[in-house]
């Protein structure tokens, strides 16, 4: 039989908790190149869908790590799950949380584009976004719109975790300056800055940064489902949604002390 792999399966010390269509897969793929980080490749959905299976089940999914390594998992739906902050806090109040945020309007269109690729007969983006378009009444019950109310969701997390334990990654800067954004992630996780400019190059076809690999093996780019061409949305609709999100964005910037420049 194969010798047992060294190390132990440990509960994650850091979790990418959000947000859907923000750039969470990129953050995970980039950080797992780090020798001191081991990440679970799939989304376990423990704190939202599988909680009753218990912490030992959750631990059994984790990659083996040495004492010097940290374990990371990502499930972007945690950010909008009411019970998740309390459940994660109950696992460990020391857990570091990573939230990848992106302009909520672009994020909603990306979300819709993904859904449309699976269910081609859903209503239009515009139809789902508004309860009454002429009155400019946005339908906040539609998840694609609701997820982008970052300040609102963040309140639940701040009941359990201090801001110092939550790191916000800009989904936009992750594309324009992956090394800079990942530098801050490495600092937040308390690991040395191994990932630098020389690890990334921009793939013009995908519109995404890719990772160069050591020893000249094939570069690592995000999968086919990433970098989809977004559905074309009427400029007026985008303008109305920008107006809708503006006060929410400002509140979010003030809460986290960071301006993401979505205006």
Q: Is 206 a catalytic residue?
A: no
In a domain, 3, yes or no: no
**Residue numbering of the annotated binding site for 3'-phosphoadenylyl sulfate:** 21-25, 102, 110, 226-230
Domain count, the chain: 1
pLDDT on residue 258: 97
Question: What tens digit of pLDDT does each residue of 77-118 get?
Answer: 999 999 999 999 999 999 999 999 999 999 999 999 999 999
Domain span at 68: 8-256
Residues of the chain with pLDDT under 50: none
d(CA 203, CA 214): 18
Catalytic residue among 21, 96, 118, 251: 21
Stated as kind and residue range, the H or E segment containing 24 is helix 24-31
Q: Which residues are annotated as a binding site?
A: 21-25, 102, 110, 226-230
Residue 140 pLDDT:
98
Rounded distance between C-alpha atoms, residue 181 and residue 55, angstroms? 31
| CATH number for position 157 | 3.40.50.300
* Alpha-carbon span 242 to 255, nearest angstrom: 19
216: left (phi over 0), alpha (psi -120 to 50) or beta: left
Could you tell me which residues come within 8 angstroms of residue 200 by beta carbon, excluding any fewer than 6 positions away? 178, 179, 209, 210, 211, 212
Residue 207 lies in a domain: yes
Looking at residue 15, what is its pLDDT?
Answer: 99
In a domain, residue 239? The reply is yes
**How are beta strands 200-203 and 208-211 bridged, if at all?**
antiparallel
pLDDT of residue 217: 75
């Amino acid at each position: 039989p194969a010798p047992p792999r060294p190390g132990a399966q440990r509960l994650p010390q850091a979790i990418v908790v959000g947000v859907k269509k923000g750039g969470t897969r990129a953050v995970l793929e980039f950080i797992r190149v780090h020798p001191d980080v081991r990440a679970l490749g799939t989304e376990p959905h423990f704190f939202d869908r599988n909680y009753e299976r218990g912490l030992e089940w959750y631990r059994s999914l984790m990659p083996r790590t040495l004492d010097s390594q940290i374990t990371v998992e990502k499930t972007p739906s945690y950010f909008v799950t009411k019970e998740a902050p309390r459940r994660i806090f109950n696992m460990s109040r020391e857990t570091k949380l990573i939230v990848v945020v992106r302009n909520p309007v672009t994020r909603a269109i990306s979300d819709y584009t993904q859904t449309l690729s699976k269910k081609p007969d859903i209503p239009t983006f515009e139809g789902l976004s508004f309860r009454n378009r002429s009155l400019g009444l946005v339908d906040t019950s539609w998840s694609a719109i609701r997820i982008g109310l970052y300040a609102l969701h963040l309140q639940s997390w701040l009941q359990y975790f201090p801001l110092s334990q939550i790191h916000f990654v800009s989904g936009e800067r992750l594309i324009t300056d992956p090394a800079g954004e990942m530098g801050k992630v490495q600092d937040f996780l308390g690991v040395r800055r191994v990932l630098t400019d020389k690890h990334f190059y921009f793939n013009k076809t995908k519109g995404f940064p890719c990772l160069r690999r050591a020893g000249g093996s094939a570069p690592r780019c995000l999968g086919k489902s990433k970098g989809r061409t977004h559905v074309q949305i009427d400029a007026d609709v985008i303008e109305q949604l920008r107006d809708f999100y503006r006060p929410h964005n400002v509140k979010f910037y003030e809460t986290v002390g960071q301006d993401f420049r979505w205006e």
